[in-house]
Amino acid sequence: MITAALRSAEPLAPRRTGIASDASAIGDVAADCLVLELETWPKPGLVSHVDNGSHDDMDVDTFRRSAAAIRPHFQRLADAGALGCGMGQLRIIGLEAERAMLAATSGVNTHRGAIFGLGLLCAAAGAKAGGVVDPALRLGHVVARLWGSSILDGPVLLHSHGSAVRRRFHAGGARIEAAQGFPSVYRIGLPALRRRAAPDDVESARVEACFALIASVEDTNLLHRGGLEGLRFAHRAARRFIDVGGVRADGWRARARSIHEDFVARRLSPGGSADLLAMTLFVDAHERTGR
Ligand SMILES: CC(C)(COP(=O)(O)OP(=O)(O)OC[C@H]1O[C@@H](n2cnc3c(N)ncnc32)[C@H](O[C@H]2O[C@H](COP(=O)(O)OP(=O)(O)OP(=O)(O)O)[C@@H](O)[C@H]2O)[C@@H]1O)[C@@H](O)C(=O)NCCC(=O)NCCS
Ligand SMILES: Nc1ncnc2[nH]cnc12
């Protein structure tokens, strides 16, 4: 079930019953954002409730099981943030969340990037709710300030697709994005989400944000599957969609669908941009509701 905070365009009254209750909805909001990302279509090459995009090994149910398995760990990350925990403790919880995800999906990596990025944002929301930092700070700023240097110095996964393409292409990826306070979320995702076609057309706003992110993010998944040529193709196709008016232009859905089919034909999947869409939804909900 999606929490009311995400369905509504109106801010909910924040609960005022102490630290624990203020932090208590954070994990649910984060997991709901994963579900909303999934229920967005057309999303180039990505899995949704409509089709499996460029993937043979996972579908909408794999992602739903994954989001359900991660949900309690997001809350643990929020609680750890509220207690002022450092990156070492957050990493332990993040790795447990990865194990829960893999158990729920029979070993398929659905959400590793989302656990990392959204998990850090949950911890930052907890830190604000718990009075560890000034509650007026933006979540990205809190992540960069509290954990930025540890994120960059943390252990490198030698055998991930991400580390292989980073070595080959000197690409940025999830760590740099987080350590810098999620510039793609604040500069690209949020403005695109908020230029929705109509006030209550929330799905098209998510499509707009997804295309805007694909158009500029250095997505290690695109590099892994398509090399530099794949990344450039994705940037160009998504940029064209935005430049001709995005979801505010006539015929946008057919255009978006056709780009989706082009990505599937090339087996391209911008998983990093999908994660950043979920993070954008989380930051948007947080800024509207305070949770
Ligand atoms: C620090 C880690 C994130 C290490 O991960 P890695 O070395 O792999 O780093 P990246 O490649 O940079 O990113 C990891 C995932 O993040 C997503 N991502 C990609 N580009 C970006 C970007 N520019 N900005 C933000 N996020 C990005 C992406 O995740 C999605 O794709 C995943 C599917 O990937 P994969 O299985 O490789 O791809 P397929 O194409 O499906 O494979 P085949 O079918 O071809 O075989 C999926 O997970 C999406 O979420 C990147 O994959 C981190 O993992 C880590 O250190 N974790 C430890 C825990 C921790 O410290 N937690 C902190 C507190 S929560
Ligand atoms: N909807 C999606 N499809 C494929 N990879 C993803 N990674 C995160 N969300 C995804």
Q: Which of 112, 139, 149, 156 to mutate to test the pocket of ligand 1 (most atoms within 8 A of CB)?
A: 112
User: Is the whole model's pTM more than 0.90, yes or no?
Assistant: yes
Residue 22 burial (CB count, 10 A): 23
Question: In whole numbers, what is the pLDDT of the chain averaged over residues?
Answer: 90
Contact 214, 270 (CB under 8 A): yes
ipTM for the complex shown? 0.95
| 228-233 mean pLDDT | 96
Q: Determine if ligand 1 sits within 6 Å of the CB of residue 90.
A: yes
Domains and CATH numbers, the chain: 19-289 (1.10.4200.10)
Mapped onto helix, strand or coil, the DSSP state of residue 168 is: helix
Q: Determine if ligand 2 sits within 6 Å of the CB of residue 62.
A: no
Q: Determine if ligand 1 sits within 6 Å of the CB of residue 163.
A: yes
Taking the centre of ligand 1 as the mean of its atom positions, its distance from the CA of residue 272, in whole angstroms, is 7
User: pLDDT-derived band of residue 23, with 50, 70 and 90 as boundaries?
Assistant: low
Residue nearest to atom 9 of ligand 2 (CA): 274
Residue nearest to atom 9 of ligand 1 (CA): 162
| 125-145 mean pLDDT | 97
Mapped onto helix, strand or coil, the DSSP state of residue 211 is: helix
Q: What percent of the chain has pLDDT over 90?
A: 80
Taking the centre of ligand 2 as the mean of its atom positions, its distance from the CA of residue 58, in whole angstroms, is 9
Which numbered atom of ligand 2 lies nearest the CA of 47? 3
Place of tokens 């979540």: 139
Taking the centre of ligand 2 as the mean of its atom positions, its distance from the CA of residue 1, in whole angstroms, is 19
| 199-213 mean pLDDT | 92
Q: Where are the alpha helices (DSSP H) in the chain?
A: 4-7, 19-23, 26-38, 60-82, 87-104, 112-129, 139-153, 161-169, 174-179, 183-184, 190-194, 202-216, 220-243, 252-265, 271-289
Give the residue, 24 or 68, on which the prediction is more confident.
68
User: pLDDT-derived band of residue 254, with 50, 70 and 90 as boundaries?
Assistant: very high
pLDDT higher than threshold 50 for residue 202: yes
| 78-98 mean pLDDT | 97
Q: Which pLDDT does position 275 carry in this prediction?
A: 98
Q: Determine if ligand 2 sits within 6 Å of the CB of residue 275.
A: yes
Q: Which of 66, 219, 269 to mutate to test the pocket of ligand 2 (most atoms within 8 A of CB)?
A: 269
